[in-house]
Amino acid sequence: MNTDTSIMATVADIRCTEDFVAMLNGAGMKGVRINSAHVSPEVFRSMVTLIRRVNPGIKILMDTKGPEMRTTALLAPIEVKEGDSLTLCSGREDSEKDLIRIAVDNLEKYVREGASVIMDDGEILLEVVAVEGPMIRCRATNSGVLDSRKTVAFPGMPVPPLPAVSERDRLNIAVAVEIGIDMIAHSFVRSASDVEAVRELLAGSHTALYSKIECREALDNLEEIVAASDGILVARGDLGTSIPLQEIPAEQLRAARAARAAGKPLILATQILQSMISRPAPTRAELSDITLAVMEGFDWLLLTGETAQGQYPRECVEILDKTICNAENNNLRCLIS
């Protein structure tokens, strides 16, 4: 069934086969997201070619890295236990078990004792216990597993100045324009000027530019960002590391209202069916969340980890499709004004 709210799914390079894409497409997927932070331009190009070979009608969105802070590569995932000591520092060399490097300059100048650190959308939570020269000594306040190149946030603290478009992004955007993908979602947009910096690289192309709403600055400048963008993507994962979690539903609705008032399309991402990464059936709360997104007028619901590495990717698309259809059959689309 054709619906006004469509399904987009993240496809990782290791899963990008014709059989996998065709399976998701047959289950109801209409768009594919490729995270350019994790693939080379050559791999990105080959993935787009394969997806188009399966079905030229599948919309393709490239997610940029944007001005974000991430850890560097690890030889192997690190198991962190509550109470463990970890040391952070600026650097671009590979990280080690006892020294986690973050690819940004002079981080120690912006961090203070007692600050909270959120890594990988909350997989790892730390508290800064001391700043000793370039070394930031931390204590883990939960247990989890830290893998390579994960996001890092310091809620409520200023972050080092970061360019709106990294050199890696420039290269990937050039490839995206060359092969004519449908959409680019730029990460960690903070203002309309960030949007215009990407817009300059898209000059003359038909690629739509979506701004990702995932930090406090984006919320503070929401109206100007919406006006400068072709659409917006509400990315709840990183947004939840920048604002208190209880504020996310209200900010999601505020973003939806702003985009709809401007006639701009909307994408909602992160934890759509999080429980189904490892379980074959969703929670009732997840189905209610999906229906609420339809009621708020989102044009796309984007699966991330559910299809990138989850155990039940086809089932996720199927249940998402059924839930969207049920909501629209009951005339719930854009019910919340």
| Amino acid sitting at position 246 | Q
Sign of CA dihedral 253, 255, 260, 266: negative
**DSSP bridge partners of 132:** 135
Coil, strand or helix at 217: helix
CA gap 88, 85 in Å, rounded:
10
Query: Of 271, 215, 272, 275, nearest to 247 (Cα)?
Result: 215
Helices (H), 41-99: 41-54
Residue listed under structure tokens 């070979």: 53
Token duo for residue 259: 């985009």
Kindly provide the b/e burial profile for residues 63-85, where b requires at least 16 CB atoms within 10 angstroms of the residue's own CB. Answer: bbbbbbbbbbebeeebebeeeee
Active site residue 70: yes
Q: Please, what is the Cα angle at 139 between 238 and 110, to 5 degrees?
A: 60
Considering 30, 65, 70, 190, which one is annotated as catalytic? 70
212 is catalytic: yes
Of the listed 30, 65, 190, 212, which one is catalytic? Answer: 212
Of 30, 33, 65, 236, the catalytic one is 33
111 Cβ neighbours under 8 A, 6+ residues apart: 128, 131, 136, 154, 157
What is the rounded end-to-end Cα distance, in angstroms, of the chain? 25
* β partners of residue 303: 9
Exposure of 73 in the CB half-sphere (CA atoms within 13 A): 5
Catalytic residue among 5, 270, 304, 323: 270
Distances (CA, A) of 223 to 112, 116, 136, 241, 247: 32, 29, 36, 22, 18
* Active site members: 33, 70, 212, 270
